[in-house]
């Protein structure tokens, strides 16, 4: 079985069922299948063959879904990339994956317009009118492919064929391409359909970027598998989110924690009718217990689920239903999701005892084929079928897993390890702190100094950074060990994040290093 075949089957079984929705636009499963097939023939006319990679730089719109399957229908490999990438980043990916072509939305076109003359790709296509060397997607949609090439038979694709390449979020630098097979996606999509009861009557809202693994592989693919309806919106804003859930009778939504936190602060939140929701799913970055409790109280703990995973694992990992274990808010759960194993191991790869910090490793049928063009890094991450996540955690006496921090983010100050998440959780419990991130910055004496970047809540007492430092030291005294208390505090209006909501700690280190101050 392959994903292209799944869409063809659903086009036959549910021809008139609404599949893709955006504003007033409605596309049925039969139309989706037919349009993907039509564009696949254009791709083959351009020379796209089995295994060729095609880049998609598109926001969350029906065209994304149609083109994604058109690429698969032609035997190609889809490479969805972040809509916010710069020209240099797009050029890097086109070269890295040796793309046979690229599709770009017209609103994103100005940032990459010059690439047609710089890249050897076989075609460059944009939505809207043609421009220079860029062809028009609308022209492709309304014209028949010329010539009569030997059309590729998509039924010959197997579960082991490559289906897409996702580039990691690049929170620490240059992104890496992660390769997946049809079998990988069918596994994790089925996992979500079963775990979260995604079915024929479901209406799944896509507001998180479909260039990222959880929105694409979990929510999008699961909805395709069962023939559910997809509701699209290009970007997340709290007010639009609340309106779409209410008007669209949304049943399932996945968002980064910040999406829920921002929505709770909207004036319209109290009056919004969100009763259609069956599952609110969050993941992508850790939450403190206070934050997790606040979201559960606002959205309903009976519907809220925390998911933990890794792009390289599909993503697959763990999940925790707040309805069952509300007292364990802040944990990532006590079991692997369907088809997934999880362990915490030491440096020698041996399982850690209760309460001992080690590295999380994951194993399942959703696990990546490997990194693109990076065999050494593949071997470092993927060992004997296990994905070594780089996340440090421990398991408590009740069997629940608790993330401590990223292995690479551990701060070493005066020879002592400090785990930033512990400090961040303490900081965000302050009634005037909206969010906080902690990093280690170079220090001439201690090696690194614990540095907090904080965003105050609206209406908080105005303090300069020296004032906040004194307040932080006062507040944290007795809550955490003295050596963990930040030696420097920097105030921001917002923390830098990537499109999936993850905090860019390498950018914070750049900001802190530019300031070049030690306390």
Residues 396-437 have pLDDT tens digits of 999 999 988 888 888 988 778 888 988 999 999 999 999 999
Q: Are 348 and 372 in contact (CB under 8 A)?
A: no
H or E stretch including 187? helix 182-195
Residues 6+ apart with CB under 8 A from 493: 455
pLDDT at 419: 85
Q: Where are the domains of the chain?
A: 3-141, 183-406, 414-515
Q: Which residue has the tokens 């065209």?
A: 63
Measure the CA–CA gap between 259 and 239, rounded to whole angstroms: 11
State the pLDDT confidence band at 119, using cuts at 50, 70 and 90.
confident
Residues 79-105 have pLDDT tens digits of 999 888 888 889 999 999 999 999 999
pLDDT at 361: 98
pLDDT at 19: 98
CATH (one of 3.40.50.970, 3.40.50.300, 3.40.50.720, 3.40.50.12780) for 183-406: 3.40.50.12780
Whether the ω angle into residue 487 lies within 30 degrees of 0, i.e. cis, is no
Of the chain, the percentage scoring pLDDT greater than 90 comes to: 76
Q: What is the mean pLDDT of residues 189-198?
A: 98
Q: What is the mean pLDDT of residues 291-298?
A: 92
The pTM assigned to this predicted structure is 0.85
Residues 6+ apart with CB under 8 A from 512: 439, 441, 451, 453, 488, 490
Average pLDDT along the chain = 92
Measure the CA–CA gap between 304 and 295, rounded to whole angstroms: 8
pLDDT at 205: 98
pLDDT at 360: 97
Which runs of E-coded beta strand occur in 81-138?
A: 101-104, 123-126, 135-136
pLDDT at 414: 74
pLDDT at 227: 98
What fold is seen in the domain 414-515? Answer: GMP Synthetase; Chain A, domain 3 (3.30.300)
Residues 21-72 have pLDDT tens digits of 999 999 999 999 999 999 999 999 999 999 999 999 999 999 999 999 999 9
3-141 and 183-406 have identical folds: yes
pLDDT at 171: 46
Q: What is the mean pLDDT of residues 483-509?
A: 88
Q: pLDDT at residue 519 above 50?
A: no
Higher pLDDT, 408 or 14: 14
Separation in Å, CA 195 to CA 162, 308, 347, 417: 25, 14, 32, 37
pLDDT at 517: 40
Residues 240-281 have pLDDT tens digits of 999 999 999 999 999 988 899 999 999 999 999 999 999 999
Measure the CA–CA gap between 76 and 69, rounded to whole angstroms: 9
The CATH code belonging to domain 3-141 is 3.40.50.980
Residue 17 burial (CB < 10 Å; 0-12/13-18/19+)?
middle
> Which DSSP string do the residues of 325-392 spell out, in sequence order?
HGGGBTB--SSBPTTEEEEEE-TTSPBPPTT--EEEEEEETT--SEETT-HHHHHHHEETTEEEEEEE
State the pLDDT confidence band at 169, using cuts at 50, 70 and 90.
low
pLDDT at 518: 33
Q: pLDDT at residue 465 above 70?
A: yes
Strand partners, 341: 363
């Amino acid at each position: 079985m392959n994903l292209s075949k799944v869409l063809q089957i659903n086009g036959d079984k549910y021809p008139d069922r609404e599949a893709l929705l955006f504003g007033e636009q409605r596309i049925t499963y039969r139309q989706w299948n037919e349009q993907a097939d039509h564009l696949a023939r254009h791709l083959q006319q351009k020379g796209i063959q089995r295994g060729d990679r095609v880049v998609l730089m598109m926001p969350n719109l029906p065209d994304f879904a149609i083109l994604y399957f058109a690429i698969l229908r032609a035997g190609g490999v889809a490479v969805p990339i972040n809509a916010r990438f710069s020209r240099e980043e797009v050029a890097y990916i086109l070269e890295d994956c040796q793309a046979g072509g690229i599709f770009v939305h017209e609103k994103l076109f100005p940032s990459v317009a010059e690439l047609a003359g710089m890249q050897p790709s076989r075609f460059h296509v944009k939505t809207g009118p043609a421009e220079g060397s860029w062809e028009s997607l609308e022209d492709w949609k309304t014209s028949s492919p010329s010539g009569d090439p030997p059309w590729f038979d998509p039924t010959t694709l197997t579960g082991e064929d490559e289906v897409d390449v996702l580039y990691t979020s690049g929170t620490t630098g240059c992104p890496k391409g992660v390769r997946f097979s049809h079998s990988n996606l069918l596994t994790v999509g089925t996992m979500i359909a079963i775990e979260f009861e995604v079915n024929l009557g479901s209406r799944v809202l896509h507001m998180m970027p479909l260039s990222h693994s959880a929105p694409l592989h979990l929510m999008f693919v699961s909805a395709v598998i069962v023939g559910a309806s997809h509701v699209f919106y290009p970007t997340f804003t709290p007010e639009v989110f609340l309106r779409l859930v209410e008007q669209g009778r949304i049943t399932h939504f996945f968002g980064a924690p910040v999406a829920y936190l921002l929505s709770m602060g909207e004036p319209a939140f109290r009056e919004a009718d969100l009763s259609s929701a069956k599952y609110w799913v969050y993941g992508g970055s850790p939450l403190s217990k206070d934050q997790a409790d606040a979201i559960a109280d606002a959205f309903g703990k009976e519907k809220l689920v925390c998911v933990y995973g890794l792009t390289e694992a599909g993503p697959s990992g763990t999940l925790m239903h707040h309805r069952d274990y509300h007292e364990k808010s802040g944990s990532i759960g006590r079991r692997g999701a369907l088809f997934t194993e999880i362990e915490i191991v030491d440096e020698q790869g041996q399982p850690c005892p209760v309460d001992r910090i080690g590295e999380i490793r994951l194993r399942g049928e959703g696990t990546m084929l490997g990194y693109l063009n990076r065999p050494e890094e593949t071997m470092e991450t993927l060992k004997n079928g296990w994905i070594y996540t780089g996340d440090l955690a421990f398991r408590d006496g009740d069997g629940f897993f608790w993330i401590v921090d990223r292995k690479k983010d551990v701060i070493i100050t005066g020879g002592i390890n400090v785990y930033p998440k512990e400090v961040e959780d303490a900081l965000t419990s302050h009634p005037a702190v909206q969010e906080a991130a902690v990093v280690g910055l170079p220090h001439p004496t201690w090696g690194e100094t614990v540095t907090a970047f904080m965003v105050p809540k609206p209406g908080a007492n105005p303090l300069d950074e020296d004032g906040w430092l004194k307040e932080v030291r006062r507040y944290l005294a007795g809550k955490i060990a003295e050596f963990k208390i930040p030696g420097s505090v920097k105030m921001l209006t917002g923390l830098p994040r990537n499109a999936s909501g993850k905090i860019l700690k390498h950018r914070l280190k750049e900001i802190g290093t530019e300031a070049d101050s030690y306390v």
